[in-house]
Amino acid sequence: MNETTILPVDELGELAAAALRASGVPVGDAAEIAQVLVLADLFGIRTHGVQRIPQYVDRARLGGLSPAATVTVERVAPALARVDGGNGIGPLVGARALAAAVEGARNAGIGAAFARHSNHFGPVMPYLFQATEQGFAAIIASNATTTIAPSGGREARVGNNPLGIGVPAPGGDPVLLDMAMSVVARAKIRQAAKAGESIPATWATDRDGAPTTDAAAALDGFLLPIGGYKGYGLSLMVDLFAGLLSGAAYLDHVSSWSADPGRAQDLGHVFILIDTARLMGSADLARRMSDFAGILHDTPPSDPATPVRLPGEAELAAYRRQQREGVEVLREDVAALREMAAGSA
């Protein structure tokens, strides 16, 4: 089992930023990227947190992305922005696109930013959290490398495209939904294959598109989307917004990070923000959100040991705990970042 250690939030953020700076990322950009990734770790989404930094840097060394990219924002309408990531590190592009959407929403009540020429931007949760903390309801999504076959197909043509939706609750916790479109992550299938265990037939197909319980066959096949055809359709629509409308690559035009790390992915993202203050006062929104949450929390649970929760509650609980006690990080990830920060990696 991998050993973990606890680091104060500020220390982890500075270490992450230092590792990025030592790898050629400008000071301000490194701080923005580190903030997104540390937030991921605070929420307990470790697979998309600071452990991604060595992977980003390895891709930069191979020419797959630019560590010192210039991200440009074009304001095409008062509420609408087009963001060109310049093939930069994804969380930087995501942070700039979020800021562009915030500006539009402050000006017009609703704002949208469409980003292209980007890369893996981490989980959606940090961006949702930052948006809702500023009083915005948000819809945020990205396209991804193809891992899902269209319903009835036997070739991967659709990405496991993440989608997030968040609504603020003044004085309380926002409701934050961050989801990808597959039933499970491919990492779970890899773990089962390594352990020689079977998997549920609802997780993946073999290379011919037939559902399988053989984890090894599933790794040669495709992930199954949530809800069958509905999940496929939802993932497809995310790609239309995040990929096609942004001017980025889409479907199998997206380059695979794992298969060709030296090639630009040209991922696309979309950020749509609504200024809730234009819809109702803060007190009214707080009252309605409290009532909304209370109706769900008061639902009698089928298992008393697992009460009904809202999306994002577990991540927000982890966030608060780790803000107080420090962030749990794998020791090997901390060692890698320290080596990078020292300039020896």
Confidence of residue 30 (pLDDT cuts 50, 70, 90): very high
CB 316 within 8 A of CB 177: no
Alpha carbon distance 47, 318 (integer Å): 15
Residue 188 has pLDDT above 90, yes or no: no
* Mean pLDDT value of segment 310-321: 98
Report the half-sphere exposure of 152 (CA within 13 A, side-chain side).
Answer: 3
CB 267 within 8 A of CB 143: yes
Single out the residue of 157, 170, 164 nearest to residue 142, CA to CA.
164
CB 151 within 8 A of CB 228: yes
The pLDDT of residue 345: 44
The pTM of the full predicted model, rounded to 2 decimals, is: 0.94
Long-range contacts at 194-197 (CB < 8 A, ≥ 24 apart): none
**Identity of residue 327:** V
Token pair recorded at residue 148: 């899902």
Alpha carbon distance 139, 342 (integer Å): 39
The pLDDT of residue 173: 96
Confidence of residue 1 (pLDDT cuts 50, 70, 90): low
Q: What are the pLDDT digits (tens) for 140-185? A: 999 999 999 898 888 889 999 999 999 999 999 999 999 999 998 8
Q: What are the pLDDT digits (tens) for 218-276? A: 998 889 999 999 999 999 999 999 999 999 999 999 999 888 899 999 999 999 999 99
